[in-house]
Amino acid sequence: MVLFEVNPDLYKACEIALRQCLGVREGESVVVIADEPERKIGYHLWMKARELNAEAIYIEIVPRKMHGEEPPKPVAEAMKAADVVIAPTSKSITHTIAKKEACEKGARVATLPGITEEIFIRTMSADYDEIVALTNRIADILDNGRTVHITTDLGTDLEFSIEGRKARRSTGVYRNPGECGNLPGAEAYIAPVEGTANGIVVVDGSMAGIGILKDPIKLTVREGFVEKIEGGDEARKLEEILSNYGKEARNIAEFGIGTNPNARISGNILEDEKVFGTVHIALGSNYDFGGRVKAPIHLDGIIKSPTVLIDGKYLFRNGNFVI
């Protein structure tokens, strides 16, 4: 039964994702998890996995209400039993316990929250060898760093500790057991030490759950949590989203750096957080990548043209990589 007419460009992107990025081999179990908005991409991935002679399994879930919400328990169990999991879903399951436990069981997991055909086709054509090298270079610096200081011309002035934390490398290439990240790649990200973030964050690119921002959102941060949210309608919308959850939703959960030169700010957070020359700060859960906070939400905010110092040394100056 054919549900969709095959899109050759989309099918080619699926081949890059499964063969080059995930290294799918004949006979491996490949679980494709999609929901209705992402059904077409999920179905193309399932067809390509089947063509690669994998044990291809397609699971469609009811769309989650918010990024970071857990998938249903039977799906989480299927993820743990798979060799490869690839998940084009409208809401992110990247920062979930289900993904963490699947990786711990040895699954190679790629999540594609909110992916569109256009973004998938364009970003999968990047040079992933270059992305791997750049992502690892930045992640090595974060691994050895102690303090981060971010400033922008719009008023961002945030400091926090990363001492003792290790960066994650979402390179887009996950060929070894337990490796995981987004497709498209590429970012290096780390969980700030809880309670250490203080200052101002001005999100001026886009915000997960909202999209491209018309007006910047100003976050006042004290001892690791957002205390005040200021701005226009979009700031009020963020306040409304966070008000549905506890204090943990306001945790400064992640500091990330985009490393994909083909990515551009589109309003889709999956792509936006990968844009080279931007950084992002996420609120909410970070338990799955080295932090201590469990929350049913994880929202990234993109900061354009940042100046970033690690232990007082420039990593970026006004969005330009200086190492």
Q: Which domains does the chain have, with CATH numbers?
A: 8-123 (3.40.1830.10), 128-321 (no CATH)
Q: What angle do CA 287, 65, 298 make, to 5 degrees?
A: 30
Alpha carbons 207 and 231: distance in angstroms, whole number: 13
Long-range contacts of 226-232 (CB under 8 A, 24+ apart): 226/250, 226/252, 226/283
Task: Quote the pTM value.
Answer: 0.83
- The 3-state DSSP class for residue 234 equals helix
- pLDDT one-digit tens code per residue, 204-258: 999 999 999 999 999 999 999 999 999 999 999 999 999 999 999 999 999 999 9
Alpha carbons 308 and 319: distance in angstroms, whole number: 8
Q: Name residue, tokens 């309003």.
A: 267
Alpha carbons 34 and 62: distance in angstroms, whole number: 9
- pLDDT one-digit tens code per residue, 49-65: 999 999 999 999 999 99
DSSP state at residue 297: -
Sign of the four-CA dihedral 78, 182, 185, 309: negative
Distance of CA 232 to the CA centre of its chain: 26
Confidence at 1, pLDDT banded by 50, 70, 90: very low
Alpha carbons 311 and 291: distance in angstroms, whole number: 20
Question: What tokens appear for 69 in the block?
Answer: 């919400």
Angle between helix 97-104 and helix 73-81 axes, rounded to 10 deg: 20
